[in-house]
Structure 1
């Protein structure tokens, strides 16, 4: 099926599911708002929030996103502490805000610590409001350890709401640790994801033993736009919050931002050090957008999916134990080879003994060949390329991964092969998500190989824009993903370097999709690649680049980039085991359904999948 035809079908299916795009582009000024509540001061915070909404509307904003728990504060240690500061939806907060919106025409979403009127349970919620009233609400699914002290798991799924300014989904803070929630919003036709956060860091000087929870959720938000083709309005706060009952303290680093459907940053608030600040409005960060600009990129991203490969893996719940995981810790040296554009340098590559070296893609061919020539050079398994790869690995007593065009009858696959120190081919993988307009036939299964270095998965770097692929490797507990790359990607990490604690932040040089895949799935990712000028696709991407594992790109004149680490990765605020255990897999069934399935159509129209 031709690429443009596939996109057209996907758009038609979205419309048929009750999520039709707006018929005409409409420009709207949107804003991420830095609003600071006073801890445990519900009534005063509601008044401040109403005043802030007035001011935002005066600035000509049509849709504003406010932070998480904006009328209560966030740092509570047990249910009894937060109970006096919960509000219902509808409740006091909405009653104070709706007259402002009716008068000004403003739409807004805001995080509220919600008490369910029927059960009394507390939820970390966000509500979407407009001039006509309450549009809808969302209850947070991705609960971090702090959330789990006071909030019940969300029970709303991921709804998407039709409004005159576009189709809007709501997510909250730690939800962005899980790629699935933003993907569910895109599958339901969202044009905007409104993300509400209090992105926190531990206080400077905190002893290492007490700072394992240090992280920054706002450093994740680029992936929501880049992987899903939607606008993201990410609101967080700054300032220091102190719980007067426990003495506990967090500081919020700021960095509210707005992102385009192509994954580019449109505007960002400053990232700030700890500072005691008065409650109230502290910044409005705005951009003019046309929400319909998301429709084509979203359809293009979703058209890359192959749901038949995802069932049942992505809907499995694996907790508290997982027999697939690597159990013994070991050292591993990782190497990403860098070659300039032009001929293959495979015969000059000298992998160190015992290390894993990943070569650039189509490792035995010159770069930049047209599709027909690549296909004409395809060869069968156990052919010249695999023999050369095995000979290189055997001569150096190393692990070496590379790729080649594999011919199987009339079909040509982009195949990644891993050779071991004895020269044997340990595993092969046929790219499952190749570019639709490219030369390769899609493969039908992933590959995870057990080695003394750890569990090694195989992929190609071009596929990593589809987050489902990385998730398949995470759920099968790969420690390392070897992903040969070609030319440098035009989309780089654009996250503010001030949000990283490691010495070598990746901002501006690292390819974005390998970076996101490593972080989202808590594994090491190694991409050998080509160099073009000062840009490179050769990199090593760690599972926790915000706190402990640097993102390393090859220097312009270097033959490779290297890193020695421990496998499985040592966790900080999260590791792969916690990631898998924390998933709310009951919401993920739509991710496994084909585009034309009755289950997915019903879910897109607002029903359940499976039915309810």
Structure 2
């Protein structure tokens, strides 16, 4: 029996009230998506290698989804062929074209019912004969557009060519829709490009697999669940995300290999909150066809203000040209040799500073809460009054405490230079000297009341590795993560203040680690560690049962812990090795796999004529006259 879950939720349920809009929407699109619609993530199970049968099942599924009143449905990746093939020759009998057999069968259903849907397929290009991992968007008016997967994983590269479409945004009567496929979410750039083009909804198509239970530990290091990544697409970009993956066990009858799909399709609000999710299930052989409809009612245009607020925090001049450089496969900036490191994040309660009694252990990196020498609760005027120059009392005390512990100590303070005040993060070393300073570049609303923005990321070479300096407030801007990843930081020291209300909401069952961070870890440092493939250490305050003090590992789903400070503890500590060697992914692989030819819009100012042309076009790469 097909399980059907229908849940009606609206953006208003999550208090999506924002201010300070950047106004990126064009007049022609201003009214798009203002009608509430029902969206659905569809768990659809194809039969391996049964193209014609899967097309029939897709038609039946589309009929059923439309009968439930759904306006836009997202189906999984490679839903016509299945996914587990050894190479193009094995896959060849089961590919389809666009237009092709699948679109011809589905379009009459969509025309009759008014349904919009996007579905993943193994596509053969008519002109070249090349194979692509593609998602196609269709509606009552016909084929609207397609996207060819750019972020290819180890299995994809055995079968498909790299995508030759950029991330397009398709204007439909129900809203502005972008398409993303599975492993694309390992890269922060693709969903950011969708947001920059004005997407209201991202349709994410996946076959998120896990290793089978009982797999030996050495082989299980390749474990991965990309469906555990979708929260970042909504939280960092302010868009709705409808993420469809599949359940069941897929078996290749020729090789006998198997893939286990764990379910977990989900829908996320522009604020990064989970609206609805499919169950995460154990391995089970399931019949092909429709296995579940997971729906929510949304108003696509509710994303506009949230998305524009996220984008207004960007500072493209800081990203140009670094985020558009192609550094693979040779990158001389990376740390060459691994070394053990001890990490610590201090936890203080609200109230006074504990800087004078804090010190690292020998050779340890200890990160203090932000505004480390001051009590909490000071307003902007008081913070400006207490600002001090470089080399002042704060930096001297920070150096003294680092020297006393023979380690590395990071804190932040209001730094005055002339008429300006900056929120400055300082790193002191074992000799008691200040090794590096960073002025927060992306200010929060509260920081803007007293501080001016800095103008550059900072990475300090130390015996511990490459240490980046930031504030947790910076990490809400995804480009900051990209900067430190591109600069090959091994560690990111990011002082925090009070804990955030936005936590990791990813289902605990999607993790292979023993202590998932769901519900207790602040989301932004967690995402920075994962998307940047670096360690993030945040000293912070504890308020009631929640804390901002944590150590966040590069691969929290599979192998590295997310550690938050326990109640009553002065700090949380962890010993590890940097650079992170990686399991299924690491920082070097991220650098190697980037499609920098597609990333030029990330470094262009909104007023730039090339950016405006790119955004208005909706599809295609940046092209200037």
Between the aligned partners of 1:26 and 1:306, the Cα distance in structure 2 is 33
Match of 2:451 in 1: 440
Q: Do residues 608 (structure 1) and 621 (structure 2) align?
A: yes
Residue 609 of structure 1 deviates from its aligned partner by: 1.5
1:240 equivalent to 2:249? Answer: yes
Deviation at 1:24, TM superposition (A): 6.9
> 1:6 offset after TM fit, Å?
9.5
Count, aligned residues: 605
Q: Is the counterpart of residue 261 in structure 1 residue 274 in structure 2?
A: no
Corresponding residue for residue 87 of structure 1: 96
Mapped contact 1:339–1:345 kept (Cα < 8 A) = yes
Partner of 1:108: 117
> What is the CA distance between 1:210 and its match in structure 2?
2.7
CA–CA separation in structure 1 for the residues paired with 2:481 and 2:32: 35
Q: Distance in 2 between matches of 1:211 and 1:65?
A: 30
Give the Cα separation in 2 of the matches to 1:132 and 1:462.
44
Whether contact under 8 Å (1:456, 1:482) holds in the other structure is: yes
CA distance in 1, matches of 2:18, 2:253: 60
1:321 equivalent to 2:334? Answer: no
CA contact (8 A) 2:33 2:300 kept: no
Match of 2:8 in 1: none
Distance between the aligned counterparts of 1:258 and 1:108, measured in 2?
15
1:497 CA displacement: 0.6
Partner of 2:506: 495
Distance 1:261 1:351 in 2: 39
1:210, 1:80 → 2: CA distance?
27
Q: How does 1:582-597 map to 2 (within 5 A)?
A: 582-597=593-608
TM-score for the superposition, normalised by structure 1: 0.97
Partner residue of 2:390 out of 381, 388, 405: 381
CA distance in structure 2 between the aligned counterparts of 1:533 and 1:448, rounded to whole angstroms: 34
**Cα distance in 1, alignment partners of residues 255 and 595 from structure 2:** 30
SS at match of 2:424: strand
Shift of 1:470: 1.1
Instruction: Choose which of 560, 573, 598 in structure 1 pairs with 2:571.
Output: 560
1:223 aligns with 2:228: no
| DSSP-derived class of the 2:610 partner | helix
Q: Note the C-alpha offset of 1:204.
A: 1.6
Deviates more, 1:428-437 or 1:326-335: 428-437
Q: Give 5+ residue unaligned stretches, structure 2.
A: 1-16
Residues 139-218 of structure 1 mapped to structure 2, 5 A cutoff? 139-218=148-227
1:538 maps onto 2:549 in alignment:
yes
Matches of 2:346 and 2:303, distance apart in 1 = 36
Select the residue among 527, 530, 533 that pairs with 1:516: 527
Verify the 8 A CA contact 2:188 2:478 in the aligned structure 1: yes
Q: CA 1:120–1:23 in 2, change beyond 3 Å: closer, same or farther?
A: closer
What is the match of residue 578 of structure 1? 589
Shift of 1:124: 0.3
The answer (yes or no) to whether the contact 2:598–2:621 under 8 Å persists in 1 is no
Unaligned runs of 5+ in 1: none
Q: Distance in 2 between matches of 1:467 and 1:23?
A: 26
> In the alignment, which residue of structure 2 is the partner of 1:550?
561
Aligned to 2:11: none
Shift of 1:376: 0.8
For residues 547-600 of structure 1, give each alpha carbon's deviation from its aligned partner in whole angstroms, at most 9, with x where no partner exists.
100100001111111100001112000010001110111100000000100110
Q: How big is each residue's C-alpha offset from its partner over 1:160-198, in whole Å with a ceiling of 9 and x where there is no partner? A: 000111000000000000000000000000000000000
Task: Give TM-score scaled by structure 2 length.
Answer: 0.95
Q: Output the aligned Cα RMSD.
A: 1.3
Partner of residue 517, structure 2: 506
Aligned counterpart in structure 1 of residue 609 of structure 2, from 592, 598, 609: 598
Q: Is it true that 1:14 corresponds to 2:15 in the alignment?
A: no
SS at match of 1:291: coil
Q: Cα distance, 1:351 vs. partner?
A: 1.7
Q: Answer with 529-538 or 432-441: which moved more.
A: 432-441
Quote the residue 2:293 is aligned against: 284
The answer on 1:450 being equivalent to 2:488 is: no
- 8 A Cα contact 2:32 2:175, kept in partner: no
